[in-house]
Amino acid sequence: MPEGPEVHRAADRIRRYLAGQVAEEVWFAFEHLQAWADELSGQPVEGVEARGKAFLIRFQQVAIYVHLQLYGRWELRRPSSRDPVTRRSLRLRVVTPKGRALLYSASEIEVLDREDEAEHPYLCKLGPDVLQTGLVAAAIQERYLSQRFRRRSLGALLLDQSFLGGVGNYLRSEILFEAGLPPRARPADLDAFQAKELARATLTICRRAYQTGGITNDPERVVDLEGQGYKRRALRWSVFGRAGAPCWVCGAEIMRSEVGGRRLYRCPICQPASDRSPAGST
């Protein structure tokens, strides 16, 4: 499933095609949304937002809500180009003078007014978007240490969209490595320096993933590895997906485990177990 950085990058691309343009055509595959197709066709698109792992295509009174889930995919085409040849099912099409935004395979599509947004089961529970403009590390640190979240294990907390919207599985492993913390550590157990570093790492890794298109490894290390002939897939992450490979920092073997039903990767040396987590555990 795409995580926050990928959703934001997709929203940036869609925005260039749609925002400020008149929607010459809006088409939905789902029958219960057909009435909205005529309603929205001919209206200007006011903006495109990323909210956690969801999109909002805004019109004057309503917004089209899209969650990609596991298989959803956006394709963008210029006015003169053909639609892609694919076996995927087209679910939404928005056409403007600049081109077409085509959504394939996603099944979670709704049209929401402002009141619907406030009560939407995903949007209303969503924490601050980790990539929202103006979000600073101090605010993230305060959230980690709040009564609501401070006693949760980091391995579970970082996947909770009510904590921070947009953080997903690869970001979780990479944030914990950057912060030098094991997944069983809790914000309540951290000293002041560790808490500050955790907040910094959360913001740094998510912004880095957004800026680079999903590369979270240290930028200087990436340049060095590219010079050695490493391909993007091999150098992209510090620990995620690298079970059995040597840690880029200390050479220890990267470990894989399951936390919250999803795979997690860590370096046993760079992320030493806390007092609450026996050595060698996750």
Contacts of 251 by beta carbon, 8 Å cutoff, 6+ apart: none
Asked about 44 being catalytic, the answer comes back as no
Asked about 53 being catalytic, the answer comes back as yes
Q: Which of 3, 110, 174, 197 is catalytic?
A: 3
Q: Which residues pair with 47 in a beta bridge?
A: 58
Q: Which of 2, 5, 187, 268 is catalytic?
A: 2
Q: Within 10 A of 89 (CB to CB), how many other CB atoms are there?
A: 12
Asked about 2 being catalytic, the answer comes back as yes
Q: Which of 9, 53, 93, 143 is catalytic?
A: 53
Asked about 3 being catalytic, the answer comes back as yes
Q: Which of 13, 125, 262, 276 is catalytic?
A: 262
Angle of helix 137-144 versus helix 192-212 axis, rounded to 10: 130
Query: Which residues are annotated as catalytic?
Result: 2-3, 53, 262
